[in-house]
Amino acid sequence: MNATALEIKPLTEEQNAPDMIELTSQDQLWLSSFGVDPEWENDEALKLALNETIATGSLRLNRPLNQDEWESIASARWSFFDFLGLPAELVDFYQSEKPSLTPLDIFIRNQRVMQSLGLNVIKVINAQPLAIGYAPESVRDKMANLTALDLNAPKVVNAHPAAISYAPESVRDKMANLTALGLNAAKVVNAHPSALGYAPELVREKIRFLQRSAKLLKWQYFAEDLVSARPVLLGYSTKKLAIFRRLAAYHLDPSERTTEPNKFSNALILPLEQYIIALNRIDDDQTLSVTELAKMARQIKLSSSERKQMLDEISPSLGRIGIMYSAYRDK
């Protein structure tokens, strides 16, 4: 965008907002994350237009204004977000939830704070459009709360941007729920940040399902140990977990009941379809160790679409596993 496109009708001196800010070279990092050409800083006309736009777009709308004044401020905010390259639909979504775009000084200060805290600012905004209007102090408080809970705050938010929208007390409640279930809450969330977004009742349901499975399979360790070793299990549907349970019941060697959770965790890193295809290639009464099963699954060199196509073809011959997989696919 050139300087002319950023020209905004100037307002009177009395309308100037306090504590105006201007872009500096230190803003280059967060601006570049939006895809802004760094040459803006070397274009004096563009830099002047940008800072005039910021000054106008930082003025508040919650005071008596005539129509021209209101439109000038609103136009400045839209112009700056257009300069950043924010998709119109994302900005429209924000305005569908909020009466007007956030003042530009608040927006810019927040980007500076998020950048300084190690956040991927554009990823956070794309995933959480309301972050356009977050106050810098609110972001600091939320990140400090995550850190106080022994979480890697930047990693958690970058992997699960919704975390920046959670109230601190909500996060503390979610962590307390995980702890009450016998889990190492910090370890689980640091390894699988999406766990912060799971409803407590669903987490309890998954744990109960795994506890029942452990008893059914006569495993010599607790379900909580398995989740702590592989937190992503909390994100599996019960239908998917039920398939793994049946595979374990009928195709894993009984000696595997005492296998350490970490060993199972290392073996459960491949797509479910690869394990099913691998087991389709052995005799019905043949059992395998976890290591052997993982090795066979790794040998399945098919794309995701090819795996699913193959399972569609062989599901009728897989008996109960085939029926369960079809139900899982059709969920």
Three-state secondary structure call for residue 9: coil
pLDDT recorded at residue 261: 80
pLDDT recorded at residue 114: 96
Beta-bridge partner residues of 252: 288
The torsion angles phi and psi of 252, rounded to 5 degrees, stand at: -95, 140
Confidence of residue 231 (pLDDT cuts 50, 70, 90): very high
Q: Give Cβ neighbours of residue 116 (< 8 Å, ≥ 6 apart).
A: none
Q: What is the mean pLDDT of the chain?
A: 88
The torsion angles phi and psi of 247, rounded to 5 degrees, stand at: -60, -45
Query: Per residue in 31-68, pLDDT tens?
Result: 999 999 999 999 999 999 999 999 999 999 888 888 99
Q: Worst-scoring range by mean pLDDT, 181-185, 224-228, 264-268? A: 264-268
Cβ–Cβ < 8 Å for 153, 143: yes
pLDDT recorded at residue 108: 96
Report H helices in the chain. Answer: 28-33, 44-57, 67-84, 88-97, 104-116, 121-127, 136-148, 153-159, 168-180, 185-191, 200-217, 223-229, 238-251, 261-267, 272-279, 290-298, 304-314, 320-329
Three-state secondary structure call for residue 288: strand
Give the residue extent of every domain in the chain: 4-134, 199-329
Query: Per residue in 253-298, pLDDT tens?
Result: 888 888 778 777 777 788 999 999 998 888 877 888 888 988 999 9
Query: Per residue in 82-139, pLDDT tens?
Result: 999 999 899 999 988 888 889 999 999 999 999 999 999 999 999 999 999 999 999 9
Cβ–Cβ < 8 Å for 57, 10: no
